[in-house]
Amino acid sequence: MTFFTYLGYPQAYMVIVAVIYWSVDRKLGLRLAIFLPVVASVNSILKQAIHAPRPFWVDPGIDAIRFSNGFGMPSGHAQSSVVWIYAGSFLKRRWFWVVAVITVGMVGISRVYLGVHFPSQVFAGWLIGGMVIWFFIRFEISFLTWFSGIKFSSRLLLITGISALGILLGGLFVYLLQEWEMPSSWIINSKDDLPATGESILFSVGLGGVTGNIGGFMGVAIGALLLQRKGVFEVNPVWWKKIVGSLTGLVVFLALYGIFTWVSPEQGKSVVYVIWRFSGFFVISFSAIFLVPLLLMRLHLLKPLNGA
């Protein structure tokens, strides 16, 4: 159960999707890289809007085997796990559908088993994730046709505007929560499950989750936009170059992740923490989509390809 819950964390998705993008299928990898921060942004905004407790907050008899901070409704793990269903809609392989359904199911079950979500929160996550999939599939072609026909500056402005709108919407719910007082029983019941001193479920109220996910979206979208201007790439068919390219990219990814973790400010509602979350996700996502492919093309581990 711990394995499947780890599989649902953003870091795991970022690594898996990055390898797909660099070494398996560029277009599929980019689709997944855009989908994940969008579905995660929707989740983090809804969590602030609903501000529902986790099971171990309301029942002291429930132990959180794998501690999770933040509000519980809807489950972010369950909502993001539907990315494998989204991938299956393009791959159309029976074996992948079986793996995808099992993975999505086990990620959701693990959250209930580990005591960090009610079943209703997991079902809500699956439902909302499915709605985002429907939205993407329904409007992808028409949106991309329109998007490719507007100027570069207009595309950049649209990406920035969507990102700003997401942060403003999340900020609105955080602002409304300033008058809301978290029940003292939630704080008392969760105290024994906190992984370290100084942590508090009071930190669940804040823009950190929203800005981190929006930063990831901006990093992917702007990175893809800039790479298209320079000429995109084709995955190298040579197997050892795929492996070396993926390992090289992961070294860059892990180095950036380590640096941002090292300079991490204390978790809370501070502006510094919110900016750090946005910047970290933006830089790592932008690097994976734009900078790493440039490096791998320079090293002849990816094949430059003119055109989209």
Query: How do the domains of the chain map onto residue ranges?
Result: 2-304
Contact 71, 183 (CB under 8 A): no
Task: Give the bridge partners for 304, in sequence order.
Answer: 233
Q: How many Å apart are CA 301 and CA 293, to the nearest integer?
A: 9
Q: What pLDDT sits at residue 307?
A: 46
Single-letter code of the amino acid located at 32: L
Indicate the pTM of the whole model: 0.90
Segment 148-206, tens digit of pLDDT:
889 999 999 999 999 999 999 999 999 998 888 889 888 888 877 776 555 677 788 88
Contact 126, 111 (CB under 8 A): no
Segment 234-248, tens digit of pLDDT:
888 888 999 999 999
